Amino acid sequence: MAQKASSRPRLIQAMIDAFSLPDLRRRLLITFGILVAFRFIAHVPVPGVDATAMANVLDNNPFLGMFNLFSGGALSQFSVAAMGVYPYITASIVITLMTPVIPALQRLSEEGESGRNRINTITHWLMIPLAGLSGYAQLMLMRSQGAVLDYGLLSTIAIVLTLIAGSMLLVWLGEQITQYGIGNGISIIIFAGIVAQLPLQIAQGYFVGQGGWQQVAGLIIFLAITLLTAYLVVIFTEAHRRIPVQYAKSVYRGGRMYRQSGSSYIPMRVNTAGMIPLIFAMAVITFPGIVATWLGGTAEGTNFASAIVRLVNANAPLPGGLIYWGLYFLLVVGFAFFYTMVMFQQQDLPGVLQRQGGFVPGIRPGKQTAAYLNSVIMHITSAGALFLALVAIIPFVARTVTNVTILQVSSSGMLIVVGVVLDTMKQMEAQLAMRRYEGFIK
């Protein structure tokens, strides 16, 4: 108890110290101001939106519901920021996966800061057609469900261009946060969209339904599961295995050459892939349902397209729901291994160690070091993949145990929120430590 009591003044004092520094206060105010502007933009709808029909579309499509949560409700109103920053995220993922395959991109990645800037420029250009395709697909889906009125070709072009401009504006705002504010701007934009929806969801979880102590108890258990999940996400996000590394170097002193050695370590994270496997798995498992919906499939229909819609429905009752969540579990595990190995091969740690004169004690440089590091990353990724898969099915477990269907525990959202909070706190800690202030983290 004494430790908890002493931690509160520490946190409050750190916040006071942060706002007492002019440059740090300016960074915080810029970040808050941009987030306020983002929330205003998220409430500006495109013309011809039917709010009731839009709500029905989101309720019947878990993939769109997830994006609505990440966009802070912008998709539920089909606002100019309906796509959020996800075209940029998609472009970044594509460039990351293509860098080891395309020699030109691989050469740029090895050119240091100038190469990374050119890759970032390519990512921005790739974002534009991806945003256009995504915006057009969303618009056609909403019109097929009667959620957005069709005013003709000119209206379609105007809305798609508006959605592209909205995504580009949010990416620009995120980059301003990164440059002039605190934290990674793109991640903070996503974080703000997720957090903005939580009060409304909690209120709906309490007021919607039959009421009574059963509903209150279910809501309490649901929130307890959410907090426990957040705690586990923090542990696995920070968990890593340290691989010891020795460096040998020669020093010329007094006309003679001396060999010196230094030691360090390589931190290999248990969850290297982050939330990317969850997004890939969600896209794969919901894509057949989206196509079936375009072909006229409904949850109550009797044709083949309707059967596909019911099969990939995240809200389907037992035992049908087990098919969706079982496939989701397996896909997350598979994509976690795939993305981790792609990233690991791109980093080329054995080659970097050999070029810098480093080696793992007891392991020969070259192929043996590569084999050793591959075995380590495979072992720790096994734990990370199972963790991601378990986090992925938390919504199903929470809904089944508590019978609370209004609230959504988004697996990707939980990882984003925890990751952004930890990263921002570390940056605040570094800013305060440079000025010899006591920060947030012990």
pLDDT at position 172 over 90: yes
| Residue 317 pLDDT grade (very low, low, confident, very high; cuts 50, 70, 90) | low
The verdict on residue 259 lying in a domain is: yes
What is the average pLDDT score of the chain? 76
Helix, strand, coil tally for the chain in percent (to 5): 70, 10, 25
Domain around 361? 239-405
Whether pTM > 0.85 for this model: the answer is: no
Residues 6+ apart with CB under 8 A from 179: 185
- The pLDDT confidence band at residue 262, using thresholds 50, 70 and 90, is low
CA atoms within 13 A on the CB side of 223: 12
Number of domains in the chain: 1
Find the mean pLDDT for residues 186-195: 81
For residue 300, being part of any structural domain is answered with yes
DSSP state of 250: E
If one compares 126 and 440, the residue with the highest pLDDT of the two is 126
Instruction: Name the more confident of 174 and 345.
Output: 174
Who has greater pLDDT, 126 or 293?
Answer: 126
In a domain, 43, yes or no: no
Q: How far are the Cα atoms of 31, 199, 201 from residue 210, in angstroms, in the given order?
A: 41, 20, 16
Tokens of 208: 């919607």
Q: Exposed, middle or buried by CB within 10 Å (0-12, 13-18, 19+), for 229? A: buried
**273: region left, alpha or beta (phi > 0 left; psi from -120 to 50 alpha):** alpha
Tokens of 363: 């392991």
pLDDT classification of 4: cutoffs 50, 70, 90? very low
Residue 106 burial (CB < 10 Å; 0-12/13-18/19+)? middle
Q: For residue 45, what are the β-bridge partners?
A: 79
Residue 356 and residue 245: Cα distance in Å, rounded?
11
- Does 192 fall in a domain? no
Residue 37, amino acid: A
The larger pLDDT score, comparing residue 411 to residue 235, is at 235
Helix axis angle for 411-434 and 62-70, nearest 10°, is: 20
pLDDT at 218 over 50: yes
Half-sphere exposure of 268 (CA within 13 A, CB side): 23
- Can you give the pLDDT at residue 6? 43
Instruction: State residue 408's pLDDT score.
Output: 56
Whole-number pLDDT of residue 33? 92
379-409 confidence digits (pLDDT tens): 888 888 888 888 888 777 777 776 665 555 5
- Give the pair of three-digit tokens for residue 296: 């006229």
CA dist list (Å): 416 to 193, 338, 398: 11, 20, 19
Are 405 and 399 spatial neighbours (Cβ–Cβ below 8 Å)?
Answer: yes
Q: How far apart are CA 33 and CA 24, in angstroms?
A: 14
Task: Give the mean model confidence (pLDDT) for residues 17-37.
Answer: 85
First to last CA, the chain: 17
Q: Residue 233 falls within a domain, yes or no?
A: no
Instruction: Pick the more confident residue, 329 or 151.
Output: 329
In a domain, 429, yes or no: no
Side-chain half-sphere of 20: how many Cα atoms within 13 Å? Answer: 9
Integer CA distances (angstroms), 193 to 30, 51, 419, in order: 17, 19, 15
Q: What is the CATH number of the domain that holds 348?
A: 1.10.3370.10
Q: How confident is the model at residue 319 (pLDDT cuts 50, 70, 90)?
A: low
What amino acid is encoded at 247 in this protein?
Y
Residue 1: pLDDT band by 50, 70, 90 thresholds?
very low
Three-state DSSP class for residue 48: coil
CA angle 435, 172, 164 (to 5 degrees): 160
CA distance 61 to 40: 26
Residue 274 clears pLDDT 70, i.e. is over it: yes
Cα–Cα distances in Å, from 71 out to 66, 82, 283?
Answer: 9, 7, 17
Judge whether 269 lies within some domain.
Answer: yes
Residues ≥6 apart with Cβ < 8 Å to 188: 31, 35, 174, 177, 181, 420, 424
Percent of the chain with pLDDT over 70: 73
Predicted confidence (pLDDT) per residue in 131-153, tens digit: 898 888 888 878 877 778 877 88
Tell whether 416 is covered by a domain.
no
Mean pLDDT across the stretch 185-201? 78
Q: 3-state class of 253 per DSSP?
A: strand
Number of neighbours of residue 74 by Cβ within 10 angstroms: 27
pLDDT digits (tens, 9 = 90+) for 279-314: 777 777 777 766 766 666 666 666 766 777 667 666
DSSP strands (E only) in 256-400: 256-269, 358-359
Predicted local confidence at residue 2, as pLDDT: 41
Give 176's pLDDT tier (boundaries 50, 70, 90).
Answer: very high
CB 423 within 8 A of CB 183: yes
User: Which residue is associated with the tokens 């990645």?
Assistant: 109
Q: Which of 176, 130, 174 is nearest to 420 (CA)?
A: 174
